[in-house]
Structure 1
Amino acid sequence: MDREALLLHARQSIARGSKSFAAASRLFDRQTRERVWLLYAWCRACDDLADAQDHGGELGDQSGADERLATIRRLTDAAFAGEPTGSPAFDALGLLARETGINRAMADDVIAGFALDAEGWRPESEADMLRYCYHVAGAVGVMMAAVMGVAPHDEDTLARACDLGIAFQLANIARDIAEDHAAGRCYLPGDWLAEAGIAREALMERQYRAPLARIVQRLCALEARYTASARVGAARLAFRQRWAVLSAAGIYGAIARQAERRGEAALTRRITISSAAKLGHVARALAQSLLPAREAERPALPSRRELAAFATERG
């Protein structure tokens, strides 16, 4: 498929898989917007393959997870080798590798997250949870930064892009506790649950609602620290890129703030952000993007190198 055909497929994929992300992508300049679509198509295809889903819908039969993971790796190998893969989403990755600074190590860090899910892994500590968040979202933030033209040697900006991805994933975990539990998954640290006296297998029982709501508040406080770090990195981007990134940060941050504010009610009713509220975040991001950039040292958070080492430690 030529570039235009790959772009059409990618645009259709993002429109179907994430209306919010599709809307936010319109704020980018044309070149960045197209490359973001291409990256999304690959991420979406990997996620769907790993979970036997169709654009993030209901989980399919989870048997054969190892075979699906092997398919992801095989097609990714072919994409980086410049070979046709038979899949528009993986061909899109190959195109990005030729046009941007995206490399195989970045992709491998994302695939490591799918491998953790495939083996039914669960975090036992806050560090475990953050490493998981890195592989499933922070590493995507690094790839997004590469798409936007951040240089491979600009470690601080890459780290802050990683921080934004981690913040997004922490917000997702806070929002999706009940949904994940229903699917047999839990991404809350085991030691947090133990401290609160909560049995992981009975997470959603009424008796645990109050202590679980306090864990959500703890999670959201962590999300806020990562978002604050990421906003500094966003200030270094070109205007249109900065606007899009800050808009997304505002919308995902709103998910965390609602989860934090609602307390126990957030555990039984899915959090959504209205279209009007999203437009408000876009408008605020525009104002923020017009202000002079403010620099600040990155807070005492694990580096992306430390988080990436988790996959190596696991062999």
Structure 2
Amino acid sequence: MNRKNLVLQARKSIERGSKSFSRASKLFSKPTRERAWLLYSWCRACDDLADGQDHGHGMSTVANPEKTIAAMRMMTRRAHGGEKTGNPPFDAFGVVAQECSIPLPFANDMIDGFALDARGWRPDNEDDLLQYCYHVAGAVGCMMAIVMGVSPRDQEVLDRACDLGLAFQLANIARDVAEDAAAGRCYLPNAWLKEARLDPENIMAQDRRDALIPLVNRLCDLAGAYEESARVGAANLPFRSRWAVLAAAGIYGDIGRAIKSSNGASLDQRIYTSKGKKLGWIVKAFGQALLNTRGGDRQGLWTRARTT
């Protein structure tokens, strides 16, 4: 499949898999937009393979998760090296990796997150949670920053890009607490559950709902802190990329804010944000991108340097 067709397929993938990301991606310049779609296509395919999903929907049991992860690594490595794999999302990654010189370790870091899920891993503490979020989303933020022209050596800006990935994943975890529990997963740290006197194997117990809601809100608060840090990093990007990042931060940040304001309703129904609010953030982000306000340091936030 040639590049043009890979881009077309990648566009269909993001439009189906994430309306929020699809809408924000349209704010990029054409070259960056196409590369963002190509990268998304690979990320989405890896996630779907790991969880037995179709564009993030219908999670099912994967018969041999270790074999699936090994195949994912192999195809990613081959694509990164410029080989054709015959699998369009992986070939899409190969195109964008070659065009933007994306370091392979970032791709491997993302796959490491799926490997954690494959072995039924759960976080013991907040640092464990944030490291997991780095693997499945923060590393993607770093790769996206490189797609937007950030040097792989610019660690400060990559840290801010990682923060946006952390914010997105924390909001995802907060939104999917009930769905994950139904699939036998729990990303709330064991230390949090112990403090709240919640049974790790039955966090959805109806009579313990009042103890669970504050933990979901705690995830939302963490997401908000990393969203704010990511906004600072956006000041280093070209205008259209800055606009897209700020819009995505606002659109996705609203998910966390809606979860927190739902007072536990998110545990019974999936939280969405309206099309009107998404459009509102595109307008608001345009003004924020023009002002290009620069903020402070990342003191107190988790850092990629803790990843081992």
Of 200-209 and 294-303, deviating more is 294-303
For residue 212 of structure 1, what is the aligned residue in structure 2?
A: 212
Residues 33 and 170 from structure 1, CA distance in 2 versus in 1: closer, same or farther, beyond 3 angstroms?
same
Q: Deviations over 1:258-304 (max 9, x none)?
A: 11122222222221101011111111111111114313212321221
Amino acid at match of 1:120: G
Instruction: Report the alpha carbon displacement of residue 165 of structure 1 after superposing the two structures with TM.
Output: 0.2
For residue 119 of structure 1, what is the aligned residue in structure 2?
A: 119
The aligned runs of 1:34-113 (5 Å cut-off) are 34-113=34-113
Of 225-234 and 261-270, deviating more is 261-270
Contact 1:125-1:191 at 8 Å conserved across structures: yes
For residue 14 of structure 1, what is the aligned residue in structure 2?
A: 14
Amino acid at match of 1:285: A
Which SS does the other structure have where 1:224 is aligned? helix
The aligned runs of 1:1-315 (5 Å cut-off) are 1-306=1-306, 308-309=307-308
Instruction: Report the alpha carbon displacement of residue 42 of structure 1 after superposing the two structures with TM.
Output: 0.6
Contact 2:160-2:229 at 8 Å conserved across structures: yes
Contact 1:214-1:263 at 8 Å conserved across structures: no
Contact 2:20-2:252 at 8 Å conserved across structures: no
Of 6-15 and 226-235, deviating more is 6-15
Instruction: Report the alpha carbon displacement of residue 55 of structure 1 after superposing the two structures with TM.
Output: 1.4
What is the TM-score with the length of structure 1 in the denominator?
A: 0.95
What is the TM-score with the length of structure 2 in the denominator?
A: 0.97
| Structure 1: distance between partners of 2:171 and 2:288 | 22
Q: Deviations over 1:232-251 (max 9, x none)?
A: 00111111111111111111
Which SS does the other structure have where 1:263 is aligned? coil
Of 296-305 and 18-27, deviating more is 296-305
| Structure 2: distance between partners of 1:138 and 1:91 | 22
Percent identical residues = 56
Contact 1:101-1:151 at 8 Å conserved across structures: no
Q: Deviations over 1:43-86 (max 9, x none)?
A: 01111111122211212332211111111011012112211101
Instruction: Report the alpha carbon displacement of residue 253 of structure 1 after superposing the two structures with TM.
Output: 1.1
Instruction: Report the alpha carbon displacement of residue 216 of structure 1 after superposing the two structures with TM.
Output: 1.5
User: What is the RMSD computed on CA atoms of the aligned residues?
Assistant: 1.1
| Structure 1: distance between partners of 2:301 and 2:107 | 23
Contact 2:103-2:152 at 8 Å conserved across structures: no
For residue 312 of structure 1, what is the aligned residue in structure 2?
A: none
Amino acid at match of 2:52: A
Which SS does the other structure have where 1:201 is aligned? coil
| Structure 2: distance between partners of 1:86 and 1:27 | 30
Which SS does the other structure have where 1:132 is aligned? helix
| Structure 1: distance between partners of 2:53 and 2:41 | 14
Q: Deviations over 1:120-145 (max 9, x none)?
A: 10111111100000000000000000
Instruction: Report the alpha carbon displacement of residue 194 of structure 1 after superposing the two structures with TM.
Output: 0.7
Structure 2 stretches lacking a partner, 5+ long: none
- Count residues in correspondence: 308
Contact 1:229-1:299 at 8 Å conserved across structures: no
| Structure 2: distance between partners of 1:295 and 1:122 | 34
Q: Deviations over 1:149-198 (max 9, x none)?
A: 10111111000000000011111111111111111111100110110000
Off by >4 Å, runs of 4+ in structure 1? none
Structure 1 stretches lacking a partner, 5+ long: 310-315
| Structure 1: distance between partners of 2:189 and 2:50 | 23
| Structure 2: distance between partners of 1:246 and 1:47 | 24
Contact 2:41-2:89 at 8 Å conserved across structures: yes
| Structure 2: distance between partners of 1:60 and 1:221 | 30
